[in-house]
Amino acid sequence: MDPQSGFLLDLKGVGKGFNGVTVLDGVDFRLRGGEIMALIGENGAGKSTLMRIITGIVQPDSASAMMFRGQSVRFTAPRQAIDAGIAMIHQELNLLPHLSVADNIWLGREPRNRLGLIDRGRMRREAKALLERLRQTIDPDRAVGSLSVGQQQMVEIARALSLNAELIIMDEPTDALTDVETAVLFEVIRALKADGKGIVYISHRLGEIFALCDSVTVLRDGHMVHRGAVADLDEAALIRHMVGRSITDQYPYLPCPAGPERLAVEGVSADGVTDVSFTAAGGEILGFAGLMGAGRTELGKAIFGASRLRAGSVRVDGTEVRLRHPRDGVAAGIAYVPEDRKAEGLIQGHSIRTNMSLAALKQLCGPAGVVRQTDERTAVDRFMAAFAVKAHGIGAEVRTLSGGNQQKISLAKALMLSPKVVILDEPTRGVDVGARREIYGLINDLKAKGLCILLMSSDMPELLGLSDRILVMAGGRITGRFARDEATQEKIMACAIA
């Protein structure tokens, strides 16, 4: 702690550019020990570059002052930042799944006994003590891969504590956590705060920031545009700072005349789904609410043919569909846009073109299965323009794109099939505020074209904002049905925990 200023970390005038593009321009960033500082901004605002500078992964081009614990620092390697007491918990956890909890916590710093061998007893004891500080009863001998994501997060935090870190940076830590796990994490973070640790909390979820953080720093296009106490702000003000304009109508509802019934699901049971029945019409957005593990994703996959139907029937435009494989869903005009783009939606190392056309390739092939490349390119180009995808070209690898652009590709891939029913599973997860609105616009366009849309989302305002009707799921069953004008967050939550 700096005795004069009282700041744990104090950066002034940090600038950084890559290939002539300025990413950070004169950014100030500071926090005290015992303070939880939210860092927010749209994708590309410079948050991760700033954190990479703090953790020594990259060096700033210019900085008028960089102070940590009262000393001027200039880290040239991550090791130096770690030794100084800065730990970062990355969004993608850096744990070795096949090693035990204790092994992971002490990786690279294993305590030795007098013979120079690893002192397993001590490793286990100290790991246990660290986890107890976090109120966790995880067995230190368990393989990390067998833990839930929330528990793995706790192991990462324990590792940060074992480093005696004074400053802990968390990047979207709740993205993969259940509500219960999130509550535990918040408790832990507050305990760390009480111990006088400084916390930097990066998140897209504004609700969490109001619930947890003391103060907030907002970055936009490489500039620090706001810093202040969270208590002085409301959500609208925060969004205004982030996007530089006020998004008055964040969830644009599009009223459409209800079309004929397009999808009828009757008594469907599958893995994680029990006896679900509903119908949905063309030009309708049917929302599905529920907590994590309520069975929404499983229902979506069952209707699409990706998981086995144990009972029940699915009809599209009055015709019963036999679903044994995703290709049956595709053939029946059902498109599924998965929740997890990386694992299920897009092949990350392949180009935009081959990803987008993959599902619809049959329609783009001539006799003998030869791909009509010109037709393919035309179709892909059309979607690139219509969806305003920002990329170097259709040959660009998908993994180089931002979350919002990847989601657009994922959507385009589904729409290339000219589907009748579109199942959207968490369509805005990991997508920043600006791109979200674009995606809502695209969803409304589909609605206007008479498609039937099933929208599964954990983002309650999004669901309430866009849906015509909302079904609530819990434990694999439908526990509530609401029309648009009678649905409220409270009523939905009451059904979701039923």
Partner 1 sequence: MTTLIRFLSRNKPLVGLVVLMAAVAVLSPSFMTVDNLLNILRQTSINAVIAVGMTYVILSGGIDLSVGSVLAFCGAVCAWLVAGDLSIWLAIPLTLLLGAGLGAVNGVVIGTGGVQPFVATLVAMTMLRGATLVFTDGRPITTGTGAAADAFWSVGGGYLLGIPVPVVVAAVVFAICGLILTRTRFGRYTYAVGGNEVVARLSGIRVNLEKTTIYALSGLLAALAGVILTARLKVRSRPPAPGTSWTPSPPSWSAAPACPAARAPCSARWSAPSSSAC
Which of 31, 7, 210, 171 has the alpha carbon at shortest distance from 92? 171
Site string for partner 1, 34-73 (x = CB under 8 A): ----------------------------------------
| Nearest residue (CB) to partner 1, 138 versus 409 | 409
CA distance linking residue 67 with residue 72, whole number of Å? 4
Q: CA-CA distances (angstroms) from residue 94 to 110, 149, 157, 191?
A: 17, 12, 11, 23
| Nearest residue (CB) to partner 1, 96 versus 361 | 361
CA distance linking residue 374 with residue 394, whole number of Å? 13
* Least distance CB 368 / partner 1 (angstroms): 7
Residues 91, 109: contact at Cβ < 8 Å? no
Q: What residues between 259 and 278 interact with partner 1 by CB under 8 A?
A: none
Q: What residues between 398 and 417 interact with partner 1 by CB under 8 A?
A: 413
Q: What residues between 415 and 474 interact with partner 1 by CB under 8 A?
A: none
Which of 462, 409, 410, 411 has the alpha carbon at shortest distance from 433? 462
* Least distance CB 308 / partner 1 (angstroms): 13
Query: Which among 224-232, 291-299, 320-328, 445-453 is the span making contact with partner 1, rule CB under 8 A?
Result: 320-328
Handedness of CA 316, 322, 326, 332 (dihedral sign): negative
Answer yes or no whether residue 382 interacts with partner 1 by CB under 8 A. no
CA distance linking residue 191 with residue 356, whole number of Å? 46
CA distance linking residue 76 with residue 95, whole number of Å? 24
* Least distance CB 219 / partner 1 (angstroms): 33
DSSP string across 109-171: ---B-TTSSB-HHHHHHHHHHHHHHTT----TTSBGGGS-HHHHHHHHHHHHHHTT-SEEEEE
Half-sphere exposure of 105 (CA within 13 A, CB side): 34
* Least distance CB 397 / partner 1 (angstroms): 11
Residues 290, 463: contact at Cβ < 8 Å? no
Residues 169, 88: contact at Cβ < 8 Å? yes
* Least distance CB 325 / partner 1 (angstroms): 7
Contacting partner 1 (CB under 8 A), which of 290, 338, 404, 419?
338
* Least distance CB 429 / partner 1 (angstroms): 17
* Least distance CB 408 / partner 1 (angstroms): 16
Residues 227, 12: contact at Cβ < 8 Å? no
Q: What residues between 289 and 318 interact with partner 1 by CB under 8 A?
A: 304, 306
End-to-end CA distance of the chain: 48
* Least distance CB 348 / partner 1 (angstroms): 7
* Least distance CB 369 / partner 1 (angstroms): 4
CA distance linking residue 479 with residue 468, whole number of Å? 17
**Count of residues engaged in binding partner 1, rule: CB under 8 A:** 30
Q: What is the CA radius of gyration of the chain?
A: 25
| Nearest residue (CB) to partner 1, 194 versus 368 | 368
| Nearest residue (CB) to partner 1, 96 versus 371 | 371
Q: What residues between 341 and 370 interact with partner 1 by CB under 8 A?
A: 343-350, 354, 358-359, 361-362, 365, 368-370
| Nearest residue (CB) to partner 1, 357 versus 428 | 357
| Nearest residue (CB) to partner 1, 20 versus 369 | 369
CA distance linking residue 442 with residue 459, whole number of Å? 18
Which of 283, 281, 288 has the alpha carbon at shortest distance from 444? 283
* Least distance CB 303 / partner 1 (angstroms): 13
Query: Which among 138-146, 166-174, 271-279, 327-335 is the span making contact with partner 1, rule CB under 8 A?
Result: 327-335
Contacting partner 1 (CB under 8 A), which of 206, 330, 411, 454?
330
Contacting partner 1 (CB under 8 A), which of 329, 403, 404, 430?
329
Structure tokens at 336: 């599924």
| Nearest residue (CB) to partner 1, 330 versus 478 | 330
3-state SS assignment for residue 82 = helix
| Nearest residue (CB) to partner 1, 392 versus 481 | 392
| Nearest residue (CB) to partner 1, 201 versus 336 | 336
Residues that bind partner 1 (CB under 8 A): 304, 306, 325-327, 329-331, 336, 338, 343-350, 354, 358-359, 361-362, 365, 368-371, 373, 413
